[in-house]
Amino acid sequence: MEPVDPVRYVVRGVEGGLLYQFSEPDFFVPDSTRRALVSVTPEPKDYRLYPDAPHELPGEPARTDRVTWLAGRLGLA
């Protein structure tokens, strides 16, 4: 998986920024991986944790956070 490891790409940043959303705890994305991704990502970035949420982050409040974040980046908020 090393050739497609997200850490290789997030260090470049993105003009509009990145929104990280993670469940906690998450079987598929351990805390150390979350922290590594966020720490190497340049600003602008946002980081949200959803305690006791499943990995897929269904429903609210994750959906609301995504829509609000994206609307802000698109100048719709």
User: pLDDT (tens digit, 9 = 90+) per residue, 10-52?
Assistant: 777 778 889 999 999 999 999 998 998 899 999 999 999 999 9
Q: Which domain holds residue 36?
A: 2-73
Give 71: exposed, middle or buried? Use CB within 10 Å, 0-12, 13-18, 19+.
exposed
Q: Which residue has the tokens 């897929």?
A: 56
Query: What pLDDT digit, counting tens, does each position of 56-70 carry?
Result: 999 899 999 999 999
Number of domains into which the chain is organized: 1
